[in-house]
Amino acid sequence: MRFLSVLLTIVFFSTSSMAANVVKIGALVSITGPTAFLGVPEENTLKMLVSDINKAGGVNGKKIKLIVYDTKGKPSSGVILARKLIYTDRVSAIVGPTRSGTTLAIIPLIQRARIPLISMASSYKITTPVKKWVFKTAPSDSLAVERLYSYMRDNKMSNVALLSASTGFGDSGREELKKLSSKYGINIVADEVFGPKDTNMIPQLVKIKNTKGVQAIICWGTNPGPASVAKNAKELGIKLPIFMSHGVASKKFIQLARDAAENIMLPAGKLMVANQLPNNDPQKKVLLKYKKEYESKFGSVSTFGGHAYDAINIIKLALQNGATNKKSLRKEIEQTKNFVGITGIFNYSKNDHAGLDPSDFSIIKIVNGDWKLLSY
């Protein structure tokens, strides 16, 4: 009996010690479903980086245990799985979700549970107004819009037609495109919408084609819809400049749109054109290192994996700075300054949980099936 008691004591202390040397981080990712092209590079990146961290001895002697769940891009699944991470798995922080709509659905739960969340989605609504426990690494659509509009203004394009997806990402982008237009002298002369599962946007494009004075088309959405827009525009012989959102900044868009992707422009992070950046760019070395490691393991890199890179490294930095629980993790994340990441250079504060600005975007163009830096 005494031997059993001693044995149980040893097991208890051994288990407690192991628990004390592990930090559990949860991740909600769209690994399957229509936005798997976003979530797969995120999952790949998270697993790759956590493996690297643990092989190097962890953070302050603690290994990271990564728990990843597939939301399939569904808000309802995101809520269920977020509860599981918080109350069953007892994670210290959550990375994700991938999509804006799923992130917005879990925010009330995150706030009640008081657990740090670093979303990989882009809607400005995620961090505006500021929510105490919610941060993000994907650039806000408002920043992408500002960078795009400044480029259009500089190139004397003022009359534009909008074509946006009726999704959380598309609606948020459309709202920003309309709100910021007057600031940059942009006139919206047509405003069309397509459904998240639509594959034929010819009716909307015909309306745009027949609208007088249109100088450019802006399509705001994530694949596969924008690829259909590109193909339909080519079928109709539309010669207007077409701009897409940062939501298509992966080779998947080029694969889907094929030759219709040629000459399409978009605001995007610098990762896609890392080797074209000047050598004095503070991100270039980080970008090229991540790109090389990712592509050696998984194939073509995408900006969406970069959102995961930034999230896990910001958590790593918070742990290095002494965070030991959810409360101190949140505090350290909020104090992140001049973190050189893949998406940009992050500066969080009490009043800014997005941490980026329009200068973190470049304007890129698809030329010969690849990315070309147009405006730095």
pLDDT, one tens digit per residue, over 151-192 is 999 999 999 999 999 998 899 899 999 999 999 999 999 999
What is the reported pLDDT for 122?
87
Mean pLDDT of 28-56: 96
Burial label for 343, CB within 10 Å (0-12, 13-18, 19+), is buried
Instruction: Give the whole-angstrom CA distance, residue 190 versus residue 162.
Output: 6
Superfamily of domain 142-268: Response regulator (3.40.50.2300)
Count other Cβ atoms within 10 Å, centred on residue 87. Answer: 11
Mean pLDDT of 236-253: 94
What is the reported pLDDT for 232?
98
Q: Which two tokens stand for residue 60?
A: 């302050």
Question: Angle between the 284-298 and 36-55 helix axes, to the nearest 10 degrees?
Answer: 100
Q: What are phi and psi of 165, to 5 degrees?
A: -80, 145
Instruction: Give the whole-angstrom CA distance, residue 226 versus residue 230.
Output: 6
Burial label for 11, CB within 10 Å (0-12, 13-18, 19+), is exposed
Instruction: Give the whole-angstrom CA distance, residue 73 versus residue 325.
Output: 29
DSSP letter at 233 equals H
Burial label for 352, CB within 10 Å (0-12, 13-18, 19+), is middle
Which CATH class name applies to 2-139+285-360? alpha beta
What is the reported pLDDT for 311?
98
What is the reported pLDDT for 19?
55
What is the reported pLDDT for 279?
95
For residue 85, give the 3-state DSSP assignment: helix
What is the reported pLDDT for 17?
32
Q: What tens digit of pLDDT does each residue of 357-372 get?
A: 999 999 999 999 999 9
The mean of the pLDDT values for the chain is 93
What is the reported pLDDT for 178?
98
**Where along the chain do its domains lie?**
2-139+285-360, 142-268
Instruction: Give the whole-angstrom CA distance, residue 192 versus residue 151.
Output: 22
DSSP letter at 23 equals E
What is the reported pLDDT for 258?
96
Rounded to 5°, angle at Cα 174 from 151 and 35 = 100
DSSP letter at 161 equals E
Query: What is each CA distance from 99 to 44, 55, 74, 162, 298, in whole angstroms?
Result: 17, 30, 9, 22, 22
Which helix (H) or strand (E) is 37 found in, with range?
helix 36-55
Q: What tens digit of pLDDT does each residue of 293-340 get?
A: 999 999 999 899 999 999 999 999 999 999 999 999 999 999 999 999
Q: What tens digit of pLDDT does each residue of 5-33 get?
A: 444 444 444 333 335 799 999 999 999 99
DSSP character string of 162-224 = EEEESSHHHHHHHHHHHHHTGGGT-EEEEEEEE-TT----HHHHHHHHTSTT--EEEEE--TT
DSSP letter at 302 equals -
Count other Cβ atoms within 10 Å, centred on residue 300. Answer: 15
pTM of the complete model: 0.85
Q: What tens digit of pLDDT does each residue of 262-271 get?
A: 999 999 999 9
Tell me if 179 sits within 8 A of 128, measured CB to CB. no
Tell me if 221 sits within 8 A of 137, measured CB to CB. no
Q: Band the pLDDT of 1: cuts 50, 70, 90.
A: very low
What is the reported pLDDT for 168?
84
Which amino acid belongs to residue 209?
A: K
Q: What tens digit of pLDDT does each residue of 57-79 get?
A: 999 999 999 999 999 999 999 99
For residue 341, give the 3-state DSSP assignment: coil
Q: Band the pLDDT of 221: cuts 50, 70, 90.
A: very high
What is the reported pLDDT for 160?
98
Q: In what order do the strands lie in the sheet with 216-220?
A: 187-194, 159-165, 216-220, 242-244, 265-268, 362-367, 370-375
**Domains 2-139+285-360 and 142-268 are alike in CATH topology:** yes
If we measure between CA atoms, which residue out of 91, 30, 62 comes closest to residue 308? 30
What is the reported pLDDT for 223?
85
